[in-house]
A = this chain, B = another copy of it.
Amino acid sequence: MNSNEPHVTGHISKRFDQELEEIRNQVLSMGGLVETQVNNGIKALIESDSALAAKVVKKDHKVNRMEVDIDEQCVQILARRQPAASDLRLLVAIIKTITDLERIGDQAEKLGRHQLELTDAGFSSDTFVQLERLGELVSKMLHDSLDAFARMSVEDAKQTHAMDKKVNKEFDGLTRQLITHMMEDPRTIKQALRVSWNIRALERIGDHAKNICEYVIYLVLGKNVRHLDLDAVEED
């Protein structure tokens, strides 16, 4: 197929449609795996489940592998198909999305590692109960950002994007609590610092989910909304 041929319904090459669909599905499987990693990382911390934590750490290489594979496929399609503007934007958005997914995976791995280190250091099992609410928020935000990607829904992406403010508010509240605890009882300092590293990992997952929402909006509206006030972005 020559990409200068007109677009009618879908691509003239059915094979190209299939390739794009296949890649989108792979992004969604990668998203599913990353979601599981994040949820298991949070669960391992809250429930002091070292076996689960070890599983999360071990599985991170699978996330990395998926990123490398999808990235390579996108570059090959770009080279082989020389796609027109809209498909090009989809491929660029996918390349960016999987970078953020891979980094979310890294944060999930960190949660697992921290849990394992804590067990070694003999921390009490209720150390991480306080991050349950933040964990739920971030987990939902990631899930919804992947949903917005799957449906290519600007409305969903905008709503999910707005959740980041809640995440940051919860993060700030937890940090204040930690400081108070540490000042009241300096023996808790080491433990509190570990908690602070984990809530920071959760907050970063929220940031990456926010990035994914921005790619969806960019893809659908053709406007680069990064760094702009999303309220000011109207669908044409």
Chain A residues in the interface with B (C-beta under 8 A): 3, 61, 64-65, 67-68, 71-72, 75, 78-79, 82, 84-85, 88-89, 92, 95-96, 99, 175, 179, 182-183, 186-187, 189-190, 193, 196, 200, 224, 226-227
Contact = CB atoms under 8 A, between A and B. Distances in A.
Ranked 8 nearest A-B pairs via Cβ: A82-B82, A64-B227, A186-B186, A79-B85, A182-B189, A68-B224, A79-B88, A78-B88
A186 B193 contact: no
Q: How many protomers of this protein does the assembly include?
A: 2
Contacts of A189: 179, 182-183, 186, 189
Contacts of A78: 78, 88, 92
Contacts of A95: 92, 95-96
State the main secondary structure of chain A at its contact with B: helix
A95 to B, nearest CB: 7
Contact of A227 (B61, B82, B88, B227): B61
Contact of A82 (B3, B68, B71, B186): B3
